[in-house]
Amino acid sequence: MHTYHTPLDLVRQRSPERPVAIARPDAVATAARWFQENFRGDVFYAVKANPSPWVIETLAANGVTSFDVASIPEIELVSQFAPGSRMAFMHPVKSRSAISQAYFDHGVRTFALDTHEELAKIMDATGGAKDLNLIVRLAVAAEGAAYSLSGKFGVDTFEAPGLLLAARRATQDLMGVSFHVGSQCMRPTAYQAAMTQASRALVRAGVFADVVDVGGGFPSVYPGMVPPDLADYVDSIDRGFAEMMVHETTELWCEPGRALVAEGSSILTKVELRKGDALYLNDGSYGSLFDAAHTKWPFPVKLIRNEDGEAREVEGALKPYRFWGPTCDSLDHMPGPFWLPEDIREGDYVEIGMLGAYGVAMNTRFNGFGDAETIQVNDAPMASMFGLAKRSISVPKSDTANVVKLSKARGKKRRRK
Ligand SMILES: *Cc1c(COP(=O)(O)O)cnc(C)c1O
C-alpha cells in the first residue's frame, strides 16, 4: 500500500481519476488498543464492517486476534491475513456445508444459533461434535441505536429458555448468550438492559452461561451524532455483568465492528460536474456511500483543490450540497446535506470522512464503477472517539434534519486492572 503523508500529497502528486480509499492504520491500531485495555473480556472484530486485508493485519498486530465471521470467504480472509487467530461463526443462519468447512477445515469451534433447527444443523454438520461452543442469540430491544439489528435474528423472550437448555445439553464445552443492541448505539445503558433480559432467560432456563457476548453496536462520531464516552459503555457492561447469574469463570466477549474501524478510512472522490447544489461525484451508493444514500447519513467532508501544482484544503463560506454517484441509477443519490465551499467546481476533490465502517465494505461494480484503489496516510481522522482528533463534527445550526441529540450518560469511569 503506497503511503502519503496526507491526502493533499496524494492529490498533488497523482490527481487521481478514480475514487481512492484512504487508509489510516494508526486510527485502527489506537481503537484496537483502547478495546484491549478497557473492555474487561475478549474482543472479537466483526469482519463485515471492513474486510480490507490491512484492517485485519492491523488489528491482529495490535492485540485483536479474535474475529466474528459470517461466511466461509470471511473465514478464509482471516486465515490468510491473521493466521492462527480465533474465529467465531456468529451468523445465526448458516449452510450445512459452511458449518462443516468451518469446523473441519478451519478449526472453528464457536457457532451462533437462534433456533432449534439451526442447533440440529450444527450438530449434524459437525458429526455430533462434543467440543463446540454454542452461543444462543437473543432478540433484545434496540433503543437508542441508529440501526436495529434485532428484527432479523434472535430468539424471543418466550422461546429463549427452551433453546438455552437445548444448547446447554448439546455441548460439553461452552454455552453462551449473545445479542446485538443495534448498530451506532447512542445509549450506553442499552447493554445493561440487554444483559438483564439475558439473565432472566438464563434463570428461567435454569442454566448458567459460560459466555456472555454483548455483541457490537459501539458507536463512532458523525455530524450531529456525538455519542457518550466509550468508557460509559464499558461501565454499563460491567454493571450488567455484575448483576447477571453467571459463574466465576464465565467469559465476557464483545464483537465491535464500527467502533474499531470507522475512523480508519475515508474516501477521496472527484467532482465530475456541478449543477447548482448537486455535485456529481465518481463514487456513490453502489461504491462506498451506501449509508449516505440509504440511511441518509451526512458524513463529514473536506474540499481539496489542485491548482498550479499545489493541493490545498479550501475553507470559507459553506453551503449545503447533495451528491449524485457515477452510475445511471437515480437511487445513486446522497441527500446530505454536505456542507462545502460556495465555489466548489468540476475537478475539485471531496474527501468524505469516517467511512472505515460499512464504507469500502459495501462496494459493488455496478455500471462499471467501484474500482477504488487503497493508499495509506499518516494524518488524523476527521473526528475521533479515542483522542486522535476532535470529538464532534459540527453542523450548521439550521441543519437539524439528521441530528440525533442524546444527553451524555453519567457513570463513574472505571478502568480494567
Ligand atoms: C454487524 C455485527 C456486529 C458489528 O456491529 P457494529 O454495530 O458494527 O459494532 C457484531 N456482531 C454481529 C453478530 C453482527 O452481525
67-119 per-position pLDDT tens digit: 999 999 999 999 999 999 999 999 999 999 999 999 999 999 999 999 999 99
CATH of domain 2-22+262-399: 2.40.37.10
pLDDT value at position 111? 98
> Which residue lies with its CA nearest to atom 10 of ligand 1?
216
Over residues 250-266, the pLDDT tens digits come to 999 999 999 999 999 99
Considering only CA atoms, which of 8, 3, 7 is closest in space to residue 310? 8
pLDDT above 50 (res 416):
no
pLDDT value at position 395? 74
Backbone angles phi and psi of 15, in degrees to 5: 35, 60
Backbone angles phi and psi of 407, in degrees to 5: -75, 150
> Which residue lies with its CA nearest to atom 13 of ligand 1?
90
CA of 411 from ligand 1 middle (Å) equals: 25
Over residues 273-327, the pLDDT tens digits come to 999 999 999 999 999 999 999 999 889 999 999 998 899 999 889 999 999 999 9
CA dihedral 406→408→409→413, nearest 10 degrees, is 160
Question: What is the topology classification, in CATH, of domain 26-260?
Answer: TIM Barrel (3.20.20)
pLDDT above 70 (res 65):
yes
pTM of the model: 0.93
Whether residue 185 lies in the annotated active site: no
CA of 408 from ligand 1 middle (Å) equals: 23
* Distance between CA atoms of residues 294 and 327, nearest Å: 15
Catalytic residue among 17, 128, 317, 328: 328
Q: Which residues, at least 6 apart from 37, have a Cβ–Cβ distance to it below 8 Å?
A: 415, 416
Average pLDDT (396-409) is 44
Q: Which ligand 1 atom sits nearest the alpha carbon of residue 91?
A: 13
CA of 184 from ligand 1 middle (Å) equals: 10
pLDDT value at position 394? 77
Considering only CA atoms, which of 286, 302, 306 is closest in space to residue 294? 286
Considering only CA atoms, which of 15, 18, 55, 58 is closest in space to residue 355? 55
Q: How far is CA 345 from the centre of its chain?
A: 33
Average pLDDT (227-239) is 97
CA of 172 from ligand 1 middle (Å) equals: 27
Q: Which ligand 1 atom sits nearest the alpha carbon of residue 178?
A: 13
Q: Which ligand 1 atom sits nearest the alpha carbon of residue 112?
A: 13
Average pLDDT score, the chain: 92
pLDDT above 50 (res 248):
yes
* Biggest alpha carbon–alpha carbon distance for the chain: 73
Q: Indicate the pLDDT class of residue 372, thresholds 50, 70 and 90.
A: confident
- The domain limits of the chain are 2-22+262-399, 26-260
Buried b (16+ CB within 10 A) or exposed e, 162-190: ebbbbbbebbeebbbbbbbbbbbbbbbbb
Over residues 129-186, the pLDDT tens digits come to 999 999 999 998 767 777 776 678 999 989 999 999 999 999 999 999 999 999 999 9
pLDDT above 90 (res 2):
yes
pLDDT above 50 (res 226):
yes
Q: Indicate the pLDDT class of residue 398, thresholds 50, 70 and 90.
A: low
Question: 406 versus 365: which is more confidently predicted?
Answer: 365
- For 234, counting Cβ atoms within 10 Å of its Cβ (0-12 exposed, 13-18 middle, 19+ buried), the class is buried
pLDDT above 50 (res 8):
yes
Percent of the chain with pLDDT over 70: 94
| Whole-number Cα distances in Å, 87 to 46, 67, 306, 370 | 10, 5, 45, 29
